[in-house]
Chain A
Amino acid sequence: MSDETAGASSPPMVRMAGVDKHFGDLHVLRDIDLEVARGEVVVVLGPSGSGKSTLCRAINRLEPIDSGIVEIDGVALPAEGSELAKVRADVGMVFQQFNLFAHMTILDNITLAPVRVRGVSKSEAQERARALLDRVGIGDQSGKYPAQLSGGQQQRVAIARALAMQPKVMLFDEPTSALDPEMVGEVVEVMSDLARDGMTMVVVTHEMGFARRAAHRVVFMDGGEIVEDTTPDSFFSRPATERARDFLGKILTH
């Protein structure tokens, strides 16, 4: 398992230190310190507007930060440009709205970056894409366009697209929030498989079931701060702060 091979000398896969960000007057990230070890699955919870999505997007600099440090595998994120693109290639990202390329077939969606960024040959990229599609359970849809697929299928393609780059870490920004309820399960299942295979993951979600089962750590955010950072078991059964208790009370009573 990759999390066991990670010795004390190897840097954390993701490190954020003293990260601050404002949207105008709104202080969306307040002095964020977060480390994610190799092979670790960290679920970020919090009420809407707590900054959890911004935190996730700051990890690959889709959201630039005002101050602080973000490192991927020991490398500080460079400024916008080709160096940043190189780092991003190693960081898979799955969005709430899937964001599959609407004008490309499923297969082309998956092969685009491996061919263009990694320089993989087209035939090899296609072979790998087909294997990934099989892995996420939609091997028979490769010739279709995104709009022809259900939301759950699109999100699984989006996961396959990110995996095709063989990323060191995967970011999930509310991957099930835009899905019809009956499609949540199939996406969560793919994510759980990934977690079991030892992928390093940062998952912003409202899926408490996933957090309980698959997460190694739960990070609870509120008001742009990390309020709790603990194991799922302790977070759900013994939340340490009033804010976490309040949040859990609201979501678990419904």
Chain B
Amino acid sequence: MDVLLDNLNQFLTRFGGTIGLFVLSAIASLVLGVLLAALRVSPVPAMRAVGTGYVTLLRNTPLTLVLFFFALGFPRIFFDLPFFVLAVIGLSLYTAAFVCETVRGGISTVPEGQAEAARALGLAFLPTLTLVVLPQAVRTVVPPLTSVQIALLKNTTVAAGFSVFEAGGFYRAVNEQGGSTLVALLWVALGFVILVVPLTVLQRRLEKRWSVAR
């Protein structure tokens, strides 16, 4: 307990950083991931190719490398940004590939006839997707999408390696002051478990809400 109480301020601000990284990256990755999924099911071959290329590249690259690029490569090639912002960009781009594949999987569970009926009525590709297909994909997508976002939450610790002030770096701060690294890590683990709980609750709520809508 001493490890925690002696460093409570540090602990809380670092988890604040984690939450900030997570919330921003979660929103950005969801938006980008859905757009990518739209590309991947679009009738235009070039758009599909862009979506497929993106997913192949980002999903198959280790997150550490993606963050390395944004922490070290990006400022050299383009312009300087705070590490925190670079970490959000890296995490979002990486997670978006997984969001895309999850949403695409959900889209494929919606019977083909639903989109056909919409097209036959004169709806174009985008309204067909957003008004008919995606609302029906939501229910099947919520549980796996929650898993993707939980993975993102934990992946934020990778950003600690790039001097972003977040929970994954807590043990080092404790260690520097002579505290027990192991105990510090346990506290961090507990912190993450607590953070995941609201996500799980949200998942259940969403599942319930969308199951009623059928």
Number of interface residues of B (CB under 8 A): 20
**Contact between A99 and B116, CB atoms less than 8 A apart:** yes
Do residues B136 and A112 form an inter-chain contact, with CB atoms below 8 A? no
Q: Is A1's beta carbon under 8 Å from chain B? A: no
Tell me, in angstroms, the Cα distance from A171 to B213 when the chains sit together. Answer: 30
Give chain B residues whose Cβ lies under 8 Å from the Cβ of A210.
none
Contact partner of B122 (CB less than 8 A), chosen from A81, A95, A103, A117, is: A117
The one of B114, B119, B127 in contact with A102, judged by C-beta atoms closer than 8 angstroms, is B114
Chain A interface size range: 20 to 34
Is B120 in contact with A88, judged by CB distance below 8 angstroms?
A: yes
Q: Is the CB of A86 within 8 A of B122?
A: yes
Contact mask A77-92 → B, CB, 8 Å, 1/0? 0001110011011111
**Smallest Cβ distance from B148 to chain A, in angstroms?**
23
Asked, given contacts A89-B121, A116-B131, whether A147 binds B116 with beta carbons under 8 Å apart, the answer is no
Q: What is the chain A residue whose CB lies nearest that of B213? A: A103
Question: How far apart sit A103 and B111, CA to CA, in the bound complex (Å)?
Answer: 12
When C-beta atoms are compared, the residue in chain A nearest to B112 turns out to be: A99
Assembled-state Cα–Cα distance A86/B120 (Å):
10
Whether A99 lies near B113 (C-beta < 8 A) is yes
Q: How far is the CB of B41 from chain A (nearest CB, A)?
A: 13
The answer to whether A95 and B123 have CB atoms under 8 Å apart is no
Given A93-B120, A158-B117, A165-B121, 10 other A-B residues pairs in contact with their CB atoms under 8 A: A88-B120, A89-B121, A95-B113, A99-B111, A99-B113, A99-B117, A100-B117, A102-B114, A103-B136, A161-B121
Query: Is the C-beta of B43 less than 8 angstroms from some C-beta in chain A?
Result: yes
- Least distance between A122 CB and chain B CB atoms (Å): 14
Say which residue of B117, B123, B135 sits within 8 Å of A117 (CB atoms): B123
Q: Is the CB of A102 within 8 A of B136?
A: yes
Consensus secondary structure, chain B interface: helix
List B residues 196-214 near A (Cβ within 8 Å): 213-214
Q: Which residues of A contact B213 (CB under 8 A)?
A: 103
A35 to B72, CA, bound (A): 67
Number of A-B contacts (CB under 8 A): 71
Min Cβ gap A87→B in Å is 8
CB of B124 within 8 A of chain A? yes
Whether the Cβ atoms of A62 and B120 lie closer than 8 Å is yes
Instruction: List residues of A whose CB falls within 8 A of some B CB.
Output: 60, 62, 80-82, 85-86, 88-93, 95, 97, 99-103, 112-113, 116-117, 145, 147, 158, 161-162, 165
A103 and B119: CB pair below 8 A? no
B66 part of interface (Cβ distance < 8 Å): no
B214/A165 in contact, CB under 8 A: no
The listed residue (A81, A91, A101) touching B120 by CB distance below 8 A is: A91
Asked if residues B121 and A88 are in contact (CB atoms below 8 Å), the reply is yes
* B23 surroundings in chain A (CB, below 8 A): none
Give chain A residues whose Cβ lies under 8 Å from the Cβ of B114. Answer: 99, 101-102
A112–B43 CB distance below 8 A: no
Chain A residue contacts of B123, Cβ below 8 A: 85, 112-113, 116-117
Residues 172-214 of B at the A interface (beta carbon under 8 Å) = 213-214
Residues on B with C-beta less than 8 A from A97 are 111, 113
With a CB–CB cut-off of 8 A, which chain A residues contact B111?
A: 97, 99
CA of A160 to CA of B121, assembled, Å: 12
Task: Provide a sorted-by-A list of 26 A–B residue pairs whose CB atoms are within 8 angstroms.
Answer: A62-B119, A80-B43, A85-B119, A85-B123, A85-B124, A86-B122, A89-B122, A90-B122, A93-B120, A95-B116, A95-B120, A97-B113, A99-B113, A99-B114, A99-B116, A101-B117, A101-B118, A101-B136, A102-B136, A112-B123, A112-B132, A113-B121, A113-B122, A113-B123, A116-B123, A165-B121
Nearest neighbor of B110 in chain A, beta-carbon distance:
A102
**Nearest A residue (CB) for B128:** A85
Give the complex CA separation of A102 and B122 in angstroms: 18
Return the chain A residue nearest B132 by Cβ. Answer: A101
Contacts of A86 in B (CB 8 A): 122
